[in-house]
Amino acid sequence: MKIVLSLATRIATAVPSLIGVIVVTFLLARALPGDAAVYYAGSSATPESIAQVRKALGLDKPLWFQFGDYASRLAHGDLGTSLSSGQPVLHDLVARLPASMELTLCALLFAMAIGLPLGIAAATRPGKAIDHICRVIVSVGAAFPTFFVALGLVYVFYFRLGIAPEPLGRLNDTYFTVPPTVTGFYLIDTILAGDLAAFDASLAQLVLPSISLGLFALAPIARIARASMLASLSSDFCRTARAMGLSRTRIVYGYALRNAMLPVVNILGMVFSFLLGANVLVEQVFAWPGIGAYAVNAVITSDYAAVQGFVLMMAILYILLNLAVDLAVAAIDPRVRYDG
C-alpha cells in the first residue's frame, strides 16, 4: 500500500510538468516560421482561398480560443489531425513509435555493451592502457555529431566496401515481406512470423543506425561507469573486504559493481530519452520511418497538430522513463525508499 501511494504521489507531481508542456508546445507550434494556411492553399492561391483555408483550420480565431479547443480535444484523447498525412496524429505516432523505439533500444544496448565493460575495466586499471583507451573513445564519441557519424558509416560500409545494405529504412520490401504487426519491432515480428531471411535483413538494416546513435550514448555511460566504480572501489566497505582477504573478482563484481550501478542506472533514463529525441537526423540519413522523421516533416510544413503531438508524447515518455528509473534504483539499493 505504501509503495502504491508513493507511486501515485510521483505521478501526481508530473501533472504540473505536463500542463506546462502542453502550454509551451501550443505556443511554440504557433511560433513556427511560415503560415500553415498559405502552405496548404498552394503557391497559386488567392487571398480569398487562403482566408478560407485559415478559417477551416481554425487559425482565424483568437489564440486563447484555439488553446481552449486544443485542450478540450486533448482531454478526450484527440491530438488532432495531421495536415500532412490526413490521419489522426495519435494514429501516426503510434504507427511510427515502434520504429524509433527499436532503433533507440538497439543503440542503447550497443552503448551499454561497450561503454559499461569499458568503464569498469578502466576503473579497475587506472593509468593503464585500457584507461587511456577509454578516455580516447569517450572523447571521440562525444565530439562527433550523430549525423556526421551516420554519413561516414554509410560512405565507408555501403558506398566504398559494399558490405552494408542500402539505407532504405527498416526493411527492403522489394526483396522481403514486411512481417505482420504484433509488437511493431521487426526483429521480434519476423521471428514470430518464422521469416528468418527477413530477420537477418532487418538486423542488417539496424546495425549502422544503431552504431551511429549508440556511439554518442557510449561516452556518458563509460564516463559515469568509470567514475562510480573508482569511487566504489575506494570506499570503506571495499577496503574492509580486501582486508578480510576476499578475492578481487568478488570485491569488484560482488560489492563494488552493485553500488557503482546506481549512478549508471540513473543516467540510463536520461540517455534513453535523449536518444529517442536525438535520432531525428539519424532517421533522416537512413530513411528510418520513425517519429523523428515525422517531427521534422511536421516542422517544415508548419503542421501544428503533429508538432504538438510529438512533443507531448516525448514528455509523457520521459516521465514514464524517470518513474522506471526510480523503481530500478530502489530494486538495486534497498536503502533507497519509495517515500524518500
> Which are the contacts of 17, defined by CB distance < 8 A and separation ≥ 6?
315, 319
Contact 280, 150 (CB under 8 A): no
Whether 256 is covered by a domain: the verdict is yes
Give the containing element (helix H, strand E) for 95: helix 89-124
What is the model's pTM? 0.79
Is residue 337 in some structural domain?
no
The average pLDDT across 177-184 equals 85
Q: Are residues 40 and 118 in the same domain?
A: no
25 inside domain: yes
In a domain, 217, yes or no: yes
Spatial CA neighbour of 282 closest among 130, 138, 145:
145
Tell me, yes or no, whether 238 and 288 share the same domain.
yes
* Same domain as 123, residue 71: no
Is the same domain home to 97 and 55? no
**Residue 131 covered by a domain:** yes
- Inform me whether the pLDDT recorded for 334 exceeds 50: yes
CA dihedral over 95, 96, 99, 101, signed as positive or negative? negative
Compute the C-alpha angle 246/260/112, nearest 5°. Answer: 115
**Residues 159, 38 share a domain:** no
For residue 81, the cross-strand partners are 88
pLDDT tens figures, 215-270:
888 888 888 888 888 888 888 887 888 888 777 778 777 777 777 777 887 788 77
Domain's final residue, options 41, 75, 109 = 75
The partner residues of 233 in beta bridges, in order of sequence, read none
List pLDDT tens digits, range 18-62.
787 778 777 776 666 666 666 666 566 677 777 776 776 666 677
Q: For 91-104, b where at least 16 C-beta lie within 10 A, e where not — what string? A: ebbebbbbbbbbbb
Question: Where do we find the cell 569499458?
Answer: 118
339 domain residue, yes or no:
no
Report the number of distinct structural domains present in the chain.
Answer: 2
- Which residue type occupies 300? I
The cell numbers describing 62, all together, are 483568437
Residue partners of 304: CB distance under 8 A and separation at least 6 = 29, 30, 32, 36, 80
Cell numbers placing 92? 501516426
Q: Report the alpha-carbon angle 36-41-44, nearest 5.
A: 130
Q: Are residues 100 and 70 in the same domain?
A: no
Which domain does 320 fall in, by range? 89-332
Residue 282 and residue 137 share a domain: yes
Are 10 and 122 within one domain? no
Angle, vertex CA 19, rays to CA 338 and CA 337, nearest 5: 5
Q: What is the per-residue pLDDT for 57? A: 64
**Would residue 80 count as lying in a domain?**
no
Question: 54-112: per-residue pLDDT in tens?
Answer: 776 666 677 777 788 778 888 777 787 787 777 888 888 888 889 988 998 999 899 88
In a domain, 83, yes or no: no
